[in-house]
Amino acid sequence: MRVILDTNILLSALCARGGVTDAIVHAWLKNAYTLLTCEEQLDELRECFSRPSLVPARIRRHEAGRLINYLSDHGVFIASLPSVSRSPDPNDDFLLALAEAGKADYLVTGDKAGLLPLGKHRGTRIISARDFANTLRL
């Protein structure tokens, strides 16, 4: 199963230890699914981790660095993304492009105003963390 975790899911996993998003990330670490990522997502994470409101207030620097390194080393990196203009938030279009290029089965997001209402992009289902956790039977 090929999966994209929206940046908000990855951030939530670091902020809410023991929660649903944390369980989803741990399932990836145990090879329950293949995680797709791209340079745009790593850049977005780096930008988020540079915010004083997150680091070190809610996320420790070493945890942020470890996540980026682990994504780079163990995620399936999709280098060439198509142009996509479908999300209500143009900053999220790269996730839809990643889904398309990576032939993702799921895009897991907490974006209730933008991505979740789309429901699907090409062959990729767009679902909440809770729904994905249920899919994995976590």
Q: Which tens digit of pLDDT belongs to each residue from 20-49?
A: 999 999 999 999 999 999 999 999 999 998
pLDDT at residue 138, rounded to an integer: 83
For residue 26, which amino acid is it? Answer: H
Token pair for 122: 């090409």
Angle (CA) 98-91-101 rounded to 5° is: 10
Fold adopted by 2-136 = Rossmann fold (3.40.50)
Question: Which pTM value belongs to this model?
Answer: 0.94
Q: Report the 10 Å Cβ neighbour count for 84.
A: 19
Pairwise CA distance, residues 121 & 79, whole Å? 19
- Measured over the CA atoms of residue 65, residue 68, residue 71 and residue 72, the dihedral's sign is negative
- Structure-model confidence comparison of residues 79 and 17, the more confident one: 79
Strands 2-5 and 76-77: unpaired
